[in-house]
Structure 1
Amino acid sequence: MNPHVEVLADLPTLIDRALDLVLEKLQSSIASRNIATIALAGGSTPKPLYEKLAQQNLPWDKLHIFWGDERYVPADHPDSNQRMARLAWLDRVPIPPENIHPMPTDDGDPAISAQKHEAELQSFFKSEPGEFPAFDVILLGIGDDAHTASLFPHTEALQVCDRFITVGDKDGNPRITFTVPLINTAHAVIFLVAGANKYHALTQIFADEADTETYPARLINPQGELWWLLERSTNFAK
Structure 2
Amino acid sequence: MTATVVVHADPDLLAQAVAARLIVRMIDAQAERGEAGVVLTGGRIAAAVYRAVRNLPARNAVDWSRVDVWWGDERFLPAGHPDRNETQARAALLDGLPLDPARVHPMPPSDGPDGDDPEAAAARYAQELASAARPATLPHFDVLMLGVGEDGHIASVFPEHPVAYETRPVSAVRDSPKPPPVRTTLTPSAINTADEVWLIAAGADKAAAVGMALGGAGPVRLPAAGVHGVGGTRWLLDRAAAADLRPAFRGLR
Q: TM-score, normalised by structure 2?
A: 0.88
In structure 1, what is the equivalent of residue 126 of structure 2?
A: 118
Deviations 1:80-101 (A, max 9, x none): 0000000011111221211210
Aligned to 1:49: 49
Measure the CA separation in 2 of the matches of 1:74 and 1:226: 33
Q: Does 1:205 align with 2:213?
A: yes
Q: Which runs of 5+ in 2 are unaligned?
A: none
Structure 1 segment 59-208 matched on structure 2, within 5 A: 59-105=63-109, 106=112, 107=114, 108-128=116-136, 131-161=137-167, 163-169=168-174, 170-171=176-177, 173-208=181-216
Which amino acid in the other structure matches residue 144 of structure 1? E
In the alignment, which residue of structure 1 is the partner of 2:229? 222
Normalised to the residue count of structure 1, the TM-score between the two structures is 0.93
Matched length: 234
Q: Percent identity, aligned pairs only? A: 34
The alignment's C-alpha RMSD in Å is 1.4
Please report how far the alpha carbon of residue 133 of structure 1 lies from its aligned counterpart in structure 2 after TM superposition: 3.6
SS in 2 for 1:176: strand
Q: Post-superposition, which runs of at least 4 consecutive aligned residues in structure 1 deviate over 3 A? A: 131-134
Q: Quickly say closer, same or farther: Cα 1:94–1:221, change in 2 above 3 A.
A: closer
Residue range with higher mean Cα deviation, 49-58 or 17-26? 49-58
The residue number in structure 2 matching 1:14 is: 14
